[in-house]
């Protein structure tokens, strides 16, 4: 059943559009929920991109390899990782600011 859902003609463009929109959103305004969605969309993209994979860049076995379309998932995971780091830095800075403004007795 999952294979018939994935092989639909609308799944690839919708997944690609969601991946691009989430990537742009994560770069513009970093949030942890966007990073999580971006990571999930990258995983989904690796499952639905078979019809548009392109050339094989590296082969692990005779039927498994790394293709041009997989580069998009790698880029999305990199942006998701950068987003998590940006959120962590923002949290640390916020905590440092609040510690300075708290009056001490």
Q: How far is CA 87 from CA 31, 35, 54, 91, in A?
A: 6, 10, 34, 6
Q: Is the pLDDT of residue 7 over 70?
A: no
CA 58-59-61 angle, to 5 degrees, is: 165
Beta-bridged to residue 58, according to DSSP, are: 66
Range of the domain at 94: 2-101
Query: What percentage of the chain exceeds 70 in pLDDT?
Result: 87
- The more confidently predicted of residues 100 and 89 is 89
The pair of three-digit structure tokens given for residue 73, joined into one six-digit string: 């998932």
What's the total number of domains in the chain?
1
Confidence of residue 103 (pLDDT cuts 50, 70, 90): low
Q: Is the pLDDT of residue 97 over 80?
A: yes
Q: What would the mean pLDDT of 4-29 be, rounded to a whole number?
A: 84
């Amino acid at each position: 059943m999952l294979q018939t859902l994935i092989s639909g003609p609308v799944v690839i463009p919708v997944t690609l559009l969601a991946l691009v929109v989430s990537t742009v959103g994560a770069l513009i305004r970093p949030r942890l929920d966007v990073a999580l969605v971006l990571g999930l969309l990258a995983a989904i993209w690796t499952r639905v991109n078979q019809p548009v994979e392109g050339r094989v860049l590296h082969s692990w076995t005779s039927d498994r390899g790394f293709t041009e379309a997989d580069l998009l998932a790698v880029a999305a995971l990199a942006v998701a990782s950068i987003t998590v780091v940006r959120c962590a830095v923002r949290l640390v800075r916020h905590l440092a600011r609040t510690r300075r403004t708290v009056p001490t007795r």
